[in-house]
Amino acid sequence: MTNVLDQPYDNQNVSAAIVAGSAPAHRIFENDTVLAFLDIAPQGPGHTLVIPKSGVTNLFDITPDDLGSLLQAVQQVGKQLVVARGADGLEIQQLNGAAAGQTVFHLHFHLIPRFAGVPIIPHAEAEVADQAELAAMAERILKGADLGRDR
């Protein structure tokens, strides 16, 4: 597939390291092709990233089949987040290229549980969360369903 935005994949990015297991992450879903984990600088409680395990930079680099699998996981994890967090809604963000705000050049979807009347923290203002708080959040989310197994 042609790289529409001419951004080569950097296999040293943090998402690649998380997939490889060389960087820590609070994982809440995983199968053969997709991984979901809590964002280290959440814009709201339960902010989760869903990524393909393959090294693709943006939406234009992924194969249609892999995109289908990724979107199935986005839907599954999104439902779990809404239920586990008791959210009123779910914001899904997906950015392509630096001009669009992408800062990690590994395709990813942001899933942010939303609550009526509660604004999210702007991406540029989000702070790195305490690891114990992230671990507790991951545990609460995982208690909501058995996301780690294919159905």
Q: List the structure tokens of 135.
A: 């671990």
d(CA 82, CA 87): 5
Helix (H) or strand (E) holding 120: none
- CB–CB of 110/94 below 8 Å? yes
Active-site option among 26, 106, 108, 110: 108
Biggest alpha carbon distance in the chain? 42
Is 108 marked active-site? Answer: yes
97, burial (CB in 10 Å: exposed 0-12, middle 13-18, buried 19+): middle
Residues annotated catalytic, as ranges:
108
